[in-house]
Amino acid sequence: MNCEKCGADAPVRHCDVDGFAYYLCVTCSEEWDAVTERPDTQAPADAAGRSVVQ
């Protein structure tokens, strides 16, 4: 899955950035100051686990 900040094809984390949800690679999630990780999503996300409509 691609990081929504840098576009890298790498494992991503579901993070909140200033109230918006992003899927970020480990590097971006650790370097971006505004990131707040969600406690329920510490494991890497994958496309199979995401649902467009809930």
Domain count, the chain: 1
Tokens 């199979």 appear where? 48
Within a domain: 11? yes
Task: Identify the residue with better confidence: 47 or 9.
Answer: 9
Q: What per-residue confidence (pLDDT) applies to 38? A: 61
What residues pair up with 2 in beta bridges, in sequence order? 9
Considering only CA atoms, which of 36, 52, 21, 30 is closest in space to residue 4? 21
pLDDT at 42 over 70: no
Within a domain: 50? no
Within a domain: 53? no
Domain interval for residue 27? 1-45
Report the range of poorest mean pLDDT among 5-14, 20-29, 44-53: 44-53
Average pLDDT for the chain: 77
Mean pLDDT for 12-40 is 84
